[in-house]
Amino acid sequence: MALRRTSRITGVVTSRFRLGEADRVLTLLSPERGKFKAIAKGVRKPSSRLGGGVEPFAELHLGLASGRTFDVVTQVQSARVWLGLRGRLGSSAVAWYAAELVERATSEEQPEPALYDLLLRAWDLLESGAADLLVARWTELGILDAAGHGPELDACLDCSRAPLEGEELRWDAEAGGIRCATHGEGAPLSSDALRLLRALRRFAPEELAALRLPAAALLEVDRALRGSILALYGREPRSRSFLDEVMA
């Protein structure tokens, strides 16, 4: 009988689903290997050696053996655990949302260390107490930038003119960015919302805590980036509806 190929990697669980009575299929993200699936056999049994080791919001050292369709998890050890995310519903919802965004932006077996770092950075920010919704918006913009669909925030997409303070603008989710009122249709975007979008690109969310952000601007940025994520993927992430319910 041929020996199964074995390997060891570091990665995180971005999603999972049940298989049979006791197994789970995990979608894993690794800086060295990218996105791939593996089976954790018997993990739902109380006596499983893997058990809580493959819980979400943890960076894991994994032992893998090659299988017919997916690799099989043979060993697991937690390297880092974001325990705070498991105890706060809002932070947990954003953490799952960030994981799904990164998972969608990553191709099978294609290493994307920058996206891996983006996800762990988002989890770090949530763990440290950064505002949940700001982390969500920061992650969305980071995903768009990393995917090569970063929105234009400094000039009108048509005439290339920089907007004036207080000028009425429009957001074009399909084309990706702002348009002046003369050249654009779409959802209005205020100067406060544009200022927040620029700040999200230039600063980490914890640095935004000192800003006095109008609630209306946060809502505008939410709508704008939501439209851009929808334009990028063609449909909304599944975890977005849960995030909306939690934050309602």
Three-point CA angle 14, 91, 209, nearest 5° = 125
Confidence class of residue 4 from pLDDT cuts 50, 70 and 90?
Answer: low
User: Quick one: fold of 6-81?
Assistant: OB fold (Dihydrolipoamide Acetyltransferase, E2P) (2.40.50)
Domain with CATH 2.40.50.140 in the chain: 6-81
Q: How confident is the model at residue 56 (pLDDT cuts 50, 70, 90)?
A: confident
Show the tokens assigned to 2. Answer: 């041929």
pLDDT tens-digit series, residues 130-174? 889 999 999 999 999 998 999 999 999 999 999 988 888 999 999
What local confidence, expressed as pLDDT, does residue 47 receive?
63
Q: What is the pLDDT of residue 1?
A: 43
> What confidence category does residue 212 fall into, taking pLDDT thresholds of 50, 70 and 90?
confident
Are 41 and 22 in contact by the 8 Å Cβ rule? The answer is yes
CATH number of 84-247: 1.20.1440.120
Percent of the chain surpassing pLDDT 70: 95
pLDDT, one tens digit per residue, over 84-112 is: 898 899 999 999 999 999 999 999 989 99
Element (H, E) at 144: helix 132-146
Check pLDDT > 70 for residue 51.
no
Q: Read out DSSP for 24-81?
A: EEEEEEETTTEEEEEEETTTTSTT-SSGGGG-SSEEEEEEEE--SSSEEEEEEEEEEE
Query: Which pLDDT belongs to residue 246?
Result: 95
Tell me where in the chain the CATH 1.20.1440.120 domain(s) lie: 84-247
Residue 52 has a pLDDT of 64
Q: What is the mean pLDDT of the chain?
A: 90
Interval 10-45: pLDDT, tens: 999 999 888 878 788 999 999 999 999 998 887 777
| Average pLDDT over every residue of 194-219 | 85
